[in-house]
Each structure stands twice: as C-alpha cells, then as structure tokens.
C-alpha cells in the first residue's frame, strides 16, 4: 500500500511537470542588441544654433539648422545633438540617419500650441486617409522617414506635446486634420527610444510605422486618464519591435499593435510581427493595457508579452476587429499579467471600430486564431471576459491557462459567442467548458500536446484536464 501511494505521488509529480511544460514559455526578444549610449564622434549643442530655452522663444529653425549641419557627419560615424537644461519650444522637425538626439535630465522639448507649426503631410497609404478626418494629417513633433540608426534618448529628459489644445479641438469637432504624434518614424530601421518622459501627446505618443528593429526601453509616458486617443506606444505595420521596462499612464491604450485600416491595409499588406513586450506597468482611462487593432488589416502575428501590470483601466487585454477589416491576428502569447481595478479583464471583440469610407468589403472577415493567455491574476475585476467573435467567422484556438480573477462583480463573469478554444485552471469558470484536450500540438500557440488519459489518473485528481471552450451561435 505504501509503495502504491509512493508510486502515485511520483506519477503525480511527473504529470504536474509535464502539464506545466505544455504551457511553458521562454522569454523572447526579436531585437538585435542596440545601445542607446552608442558613441558618436561628432556632437553639438542646440544653443550653438541660436536656441533659447526660455519656454517662449520658438526654436524650430535652430533644430532644423543643427540637424542640417550634422547631416554632413552621417557617413563619418554619425553625430549627436544635445539639448541642455531648459524649456525648448519648437514646431515639428525631422531627424536624419546616424543621429542621437540626447536630452539633459532637466531639458524639456515643448511642442508649440500653434497648429501651423505642425505641417500637414500625406495620409499613411495603409490607412487611405487621416485616422480622424479625410485628407492629410499633422506631422509628428519629432519625425523621420527612411532612416537608419537613430537614437532618441536622455537622462530622463522630457518631451511635452502640450496636447490639451488638441484634445479640446477634438472634443469640439474643430479639427481640420488628424492630430499629430509626439514621435513618428516611417520606413526606418535600427531605432532606439529610451530613458525619456513623454507627456501630453496630442494623439498617439510613439508611432513606429513601416519600420523594423525598434527598441523602446525605460520610457515614461503620461497623459490625463480622460485625454482622448492618447495611446502610448503603437507599433504599426512594423517588425522586430521590442518594448521593455516602461511606465505608462494615459487616456487610451498603453500598448496597441496595428497594421492598416480596411481595404487600404489589405492592399498595402504590411503586417506587424515579431513583437516583444516585457516589464510594462500602467493604467489607461478608456483603453487597454495591451491591445491589438482595431486597425489590423495587414495582419498581426508573433507577439510575445510578459510581466505586465495594469491598474485602474477599462480593459486589461484586448483584441479589436470587425467585419470589413480582413487581415489576421494569430500567434499571440501573453503571460505573467497582474491586474487590479480593471473593468473587463480580457476582451476579444469582433464588432469594433468604424471604417475609413464606404468602399470597404463587408465580406473581408478577419482571421483570429491561436491566442494564448496564461498566468494571469486579477483583483477587483468587473467582468472576467467578453470573448465575442463574428457570426460565420468563429475566432479559434483561444487558449487560457492559469487565469484567476477571484470573485468578479458581473454575472455571468464571462460572455462568449462565436469563439472556440481551450482552457485550464481558469476562475471564475469559463463559459461552456468541455472536458477535452487539444487534439494536436498546434492547437494552442507555443504549446505541446497533452495525451488524453482514458481514465482519471493520480494527476487528474489535483489538476483538471484542458477544457475545450466552444461557444458558437
């Protein structure tokens, strides 16, 4: 009898290890090493070009002249533009190749409140128009296109967009063009944004688009929790993007991955992929901690996120799409997440977002598949989850493991429709759970197959089998 008990314990231990390994996940980083302290053999200070750091004098021409001068060193090891302590008012300016823009800890680059200082540029081809209005869009405060080896860094200096004037115009419907970002880099590679504080962005704060090898690390991004559309970091049709060690408090999504809008994104066909997100803490007024979409028509895949902490937010984890978007969201792995005071912990929505015009194809249905969410703990949660696909377009292989929200305020705690997937160790109990295991190793992203036992074993007494979630209307 003793030998039998010992044998059962050994089997139980082995089975537990095996079950854990099924959901195992190794840290992933898709970015090659990039050093924000990279040495530049040539350096100038913005004051050498007539800039005055009094917060009143407009310094756009000084930034333009300094960068024009430094362009002559681009093929000689690159150059640094140093911004010392002071308040440096400016309109939009462009960066160049092999440049470091470095801010002193007491330096503040301030965006002008005069919209004429933010020129209007063409809409993104993957959007077909400005995101908010037909036509063009205001250029970002710090802008670059077709660049290589650009570093925006400092000793925690500040970039302030003075967004309140833009938010007011948005609320009053007096915008002429789509609002600008704080930083936008297009068609660029080897980009580092680090050790800075970004505040009061008029629109999305950091927007790498059509770019690759982008590292955003050790940044703080702040905007009032009621500020409209102030997403913090928006990788858009970009690859090999790494976001690490950030604190963000803003009015909309903390991190949101995009890839174009309806027929324009489908035609442009530039996906976002190979994105790593680690050690991010924040709160969002009306958005999510981590989100995909809703503009995802070029496709989003290979996203790994871990060690995330979200508080005081409308959503924790969110996927947004709708009929007409086309594209796909697949191969997402989100793990080690804590949430506190979040209204809806997990939301996958197939009925979200407006369209750029009436030319979109209503039959262009998104493919949402292979999303793994594991090791999540939530406190003071309103609704555990709303997992709602599109009728005739079931979202599949949605896998949840070791997810605990305790007692949530809503009843039922989960709302599910047009969703298929699997779950293991989820509380409150997930809707329409079935005692089935994945039928093949590719059912859940980054997971191995568990061979189903024909009867209850020692292991099954302490840990339930994977549960097949199937809620189809």
Residue 465 CB coordination number (10 Å)? 18
Residue 252 a catalytic site member: yes
Is residue 339 left, alpha or beta, with left meaning phi > 0 and alpha meaning psi from -120 to 50? beta
Q: How would you label 408-431 residue by residue, b for 16+ Cβ within 10 Å and e otherwise?
A: bebeebbbbbbbbbbbbbbebebb
Helix (H, G, I), strand (E, B) or coil at 333: strand
Cα gap 353→355, rounded to integer Å: 7
User: Residue 47, Cβ neighbours under 10 Å: how many?
Assistant: 17
Of 149, 160, 236, 252, the catalytic one is 252
- Helix or strand holding residue 94 (H, E): strand 93-94
- Residue 191 and residue 211 in contact, taking contact as beta carbons nearer than 8 Å: yes
Report the C-alpha gap between 69 and 149 in whole angstroms.
17
State the sign of the Cα–Cα–Cα–Cα dihedral 110, 113, 114, 117: positive
For 377-444, the DSSP string reads EEEEEEEEEEEE-BTTB-EEEEEEEEEE--S-SSSSSEEEESEEEEEEEEESPPTTEES---SSTTSS
Coil, helix or strand at residue 196:
strand
3-state secondary structure of 32: coil
- Active site members: 252
């Amino acid at each position: 009898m003793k030998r039998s008990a010992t044998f059962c314990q050994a089997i139980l231990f082995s089975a537990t290890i095996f079950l854990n390994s099924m959901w195992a996940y190794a840290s992933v980083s898709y970015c090659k090493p990039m050093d924000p302290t990279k040495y530049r053999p040539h350096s100038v200070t913005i004051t050498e070009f007539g800039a005055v750091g009094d917060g009143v004098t407009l310094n756009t021409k000084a930034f333009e002249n300094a960068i024009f001068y430094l362009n002559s060193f681009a093929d000689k090891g690159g150059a640094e533009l140093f911004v010392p302590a002071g308040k440096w008012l400016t309109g939009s300016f462009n960066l160049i190749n092999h440049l470091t823009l470095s801010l002193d800890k007491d330096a503040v680059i301030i965006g002008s409140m005069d919209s004429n200082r933010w020129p209007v540029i063409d809409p993104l081809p993957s959007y077909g128009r400005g995101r908010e209005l037909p036509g063009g869009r205001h250029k970002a405060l710090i802008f670059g296109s077709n660049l290589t080896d650009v570093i925006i860094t400092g000793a925690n200096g500040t970039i302030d967009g003075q967004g309140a004037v833009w938010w007011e115009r948005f609320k009053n419907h007096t915008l002429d063009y789509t609002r600008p970002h704080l930083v936008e880099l297009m068609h660029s590679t080897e980009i580092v944004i680090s050790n800075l504080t970004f505040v009061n962005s008029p629109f999305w704060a950091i927007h790498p688009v059509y770019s690759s090898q982008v590292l955003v690390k050790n940044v703080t991004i702040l905007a009032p929790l009621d500020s409209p559309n102030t997403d913090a970091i928006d990788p858009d049709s970009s690859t090999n993007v790494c976001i690490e060690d950030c604190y963000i408090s803003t009015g909309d999504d903390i991190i949101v991955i995009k890839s174009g809008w309806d027929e324009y994104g489908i035609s442009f066909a530039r996906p976002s992929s190979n994105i790593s997100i680690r050690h991010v803490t924040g709160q969002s007024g009306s958005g999510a901690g981590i989100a995909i979409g809703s503009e995802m028509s070029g496709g989003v895949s290979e996203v790994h996120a871990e060690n995330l902490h979200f508080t005081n937010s409308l959503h924790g984890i969110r996927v947004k799409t709708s009929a007409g978007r086309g594209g796909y969201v697949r191969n997402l792995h989100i793990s080690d997440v804590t949430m506190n005071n979040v209204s809806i912990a997990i939301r996958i929505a197939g009925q979200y977002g407006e369209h750029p015009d009436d030319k979109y194809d209503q039959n262009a249905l998104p493919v949402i598949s292979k999303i793994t969410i594991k090791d999540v703990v939530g406190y003071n949660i309103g609704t555990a989850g709303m997992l709602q696909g599109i009728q005739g377009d079931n979202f599949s292989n949605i896998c949840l493991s070791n997810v605990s929200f305790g007692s949530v305020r809503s009843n039922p705690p989960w709302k599910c429709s047009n969703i298929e997937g699997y779950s293991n160790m989820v509380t409150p109990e997930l809707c329409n759970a079935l005692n089935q295991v994945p039928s093949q190793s590719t059912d859940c992203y980054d997971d191995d197959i568990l061979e189903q036992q024909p009867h209850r074993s020692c292991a099954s007494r302490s840990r339930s089998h994977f549960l097949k979630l199937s809620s189809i209307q």
